[in-house]
Amino acid sequence: MASLKGKRVAVAGITFESNSFAPGLTNLDAFERYLFAEGPTVLTAGFGKDEIGGAISVADELGIELVPVFASDGGCGPTVSDKTYEFLKERLFSKLSEVLGSVDGVYLRLHGAMTAESYEDVEGDLIESLRKIVGPDFPIAVSCDFHGHFTEKMAKSTALIAGYQTCPHLDFFETGARAMRLMAAELSGTKKPTLSYRKTKLLASAEGHDTSFGPLRAVMDRLHEIEKLPGVLDATIFCTQPWLDVTELGWSTLVVTEDNPELGQKLADELALMLWDRREAVLFRKEKVENIVAEINASEPSAKPFIIADGADSTSAGCLGDSNYLLKYLLQNPIKGTVYMTVTDPALAKKCFAAGVGGEVTSDIGGSLSPVFFSPVEVTGEVVTLCDGVYQSKYPSKMFNSGPTAVFRVGEISIVVTSKPAFMLDYQLYLRVGLDFTSAKAVQVKSAGGYRGYYEPHAFKCIDMASPGSADSRLPKLPFTKTRRPLWPFDLDIEDPWY
């Protein structure tokens, strides 16, 4: 592609993944805790490894000047309060208004599954609002998560949409680069990126979304073949965040072509049909806790740990992290060896700090934030470590702040007690508190599948545990009320899979 020297693109974004079944609301403090940036910090907050880092690499290659404006990230959690979303939106557009007259396009780093009390489709609202300001021909490029909730409003507002192509998500950088290449295609004036998409009546829990093996591998292989076809600029599959109670729920396939909507629709339909044909295969079946513990206790000694995934309390799926389901079972049926786990419990963290390192604490633990799913259990243990809970995550690449954090040891179980939910997609939290997870017999991670990217290479075996929670893989057990029907797997006799 020819140099685009002299072109200027504003960079902005609001990222958050909602869980409709996690109790309470997410407020502004969550965004202030993770990322609230204006100006140059927008470009560096991801340490050059996130989507913005990828966008920078393409911009530098093509001579595009990036103009950092505003970015905020609240992680994952319950539905965002209207007050918080409206504040963030106003701040984003206020900062954008200062530069829109001097830029040739806007790149928005979004998630795709953010909801607020009165906004089912935050990303659609943001893109549509920007489109109304800049007019029909102004380039707007967007990057989204693999679990984005793609909507008609998004499709009508821009054709320049790129989503992650991996789960576990390992292509943050590459996705930002793809979004910026779509922007460059539009800015060049020689191509007209055109979006075609297909929405399907299909949903499945995130544990079945792995793109490195299993039923989705062949779909992604075909997607990469499609990307190389003449006239195709990009392709994306959105396996939607399944724990959203919204109207337009369902998986989507997107193909961006050079002004060839017929080709794009044919290819989007082909990918969508491949997904539909694999709907039974993507259902994920988990192991009962008693079978997991029995298997671990019957196993031979190993230099690698068993990884027990409690995906139903996945903090990276918006859960609050206060499940004590595994802990309760282990108190009566212990694993023979050291066990590491995490629980979000700000009250217990406060007691641990009051007792100090070496102090003994008797307290309830867990079930304080999500009482609809869990109830507290009393334990007595020793405070081993205290820290501020601030650390750099690798997945995703950013600074995390789990609030005052303690290691609380109950027998052979070391519990990392955080004041705020902490992602367990990688093992940085365990390292932050001085726990070498590879030395344990068993390690609990609260992640619905995404943990495998970092933990599996170090594991003797990864086991996904059947448990309750606001990210329960048994979707029909959750109280969906808004979702358009029919939708598989709620309705199994569906003749026409397309919306």
Radius of gyration over alpha carbons of the chain, in Å? 23
Q: Please provide the DSSP assignment of 21-56 as one string.
A: TSSS-B-HHHHHHHEEEETTHHHHTTTT-SHHHHHH
Residue 213 has pLDDT above 90, yes or no: no
Number of Cβ within 10 Å of residue 295's Cβ equals 13
Q: How many CA atoms lie within 13 A of 320 on its CB side?
A: 27
Number of Cβ within 10 Å of residue 156's Cβ equals 13
Q: Residue 381 has what pLDDT? A: 98
Q: Residue 335 has what pLDDT? A: 98
Q: What is the mean pLDDT of residues 198-215?
A: 94
CB-based contact 125:119 (threshold 8 Å): yes
CB-based contact 30:88 (threshold 8 Å): no
Bridge-based pairing state of the strands 252-258 and 232-238: antiparallel
| Strand runs labelled E in 79-138 | 105-110
Architecture of domain 8-277: 3-Layer(aba) Sandwich (3.40)
For residue 396, say if its preceding peptide bond is cis, omega within 30 degrees of 0.
yes
What does the block give as tokens for 401? 């702040």
pLDDT digits (tens, 9 = 90+) for 46-84: 999 999 999 999 999 999 999 999 999 999 999 999 999
Phi/psi-derived region of residue 367, left when phi > 0, alpha when psi is between -120 and 50, beta in every other case: left
* CA-based nearest residue to 142, from 125, 162, 114, 122: 162
pLDDT digits (tens, 9 = 90+) for 231-252: 999 999 999 999 999 999 999 9
What does the block give as tokens for 231? 């006239």
Q: What is the mean pLDDT of residues 6-27?
A: 98
Q: Give 120's DSSP letter.
A: S
CB-based contact 349:370 (threshold 8 Å): no
Q: State the Cα–Cα distance between residues 356 and 407, nearest whole angstrom.
A: 11
Q: Residue 191 has what pLDDT? A: 83
Mean pLDDT value across the chain: 96
pLDDT digits (tens, 9 = 90+) for 137-188: 999 999 999 999 999 999 999 999 999 999 999 999 999 999 999 999 999 9
Give pTM, 2 decimals. 0.95
Q: Residue 1 has what pLDDT? A: 64
Number of H helices, E strands in the chain: 14, 19
Question: Could you tell me the pLDDT band of residue 428, with boundaries at 50, 70 and 90?
Answer: very high
Q: Is the dihedral angle over the CA atoms 156, 255, 140, 167 positive or is it negative?
A: positive
Q: Residue 494 has what pLDDT? A: 95
Residue 498 has pLDDT above 70, yes or no: yes
Q: What is the mean pLDDT of residues 185-210?
A: 95
Query: What amino acid is encoded at 490 in this protein?
Result: F
Residue 228 has pLDDT above 70, yes or no: yes
* CA-based nearest residue to 78, from 319, 287, 312: 319
Residue 20: in which H helix or E strand, if any? none
With pLDDT > 90 as the criterion, what percentage of the chain qualifies? 96
Domain range summary for the chain, segments of one domain joined by + = 8-277, 289-472
pLDDT digits (tens, 9 = 90+) for 403-427: 999 999 999 999 999 999 999 999 9
- For residue 276, the Cα-to-chain-centroid distance in whole angstroms is 23
CB-based contact 308:286 (threshold 8 Å): no
With pLDDT > 70 as the criterion, what percentage of the chain qualifies? 100
pLDDT digits (tens, 9 = 90+) for 265-315: 999 999 999 999 999 999 889 999 999 999 999 999 889 999 999 999 999
Long-range Cβ contact pairs of 220-229 (< 8 A, separation 24 or more): 220/165, 222/270, 222/271, 222/274, 223/165, 223/271, 224/165, 226/255, 226/267, 226/270, 226/271, 229/263, 229/267
CB-based contact 149:249 (threshold 8 Å): yes
Within 63-151, residue ranges assigned H as helices are 82-97, 122-134
Q: Give 484's DSSP letter.
A: -
* CA-based nearest residue to 9, from 254, 186, 172, 128: 186
Q: Give 475's DSSP letter.
A: G
CB-based contact 497:201 (threshold 8 Å): yes
Number of Cβ within 10 Å of residue 297's Cβ equals 14
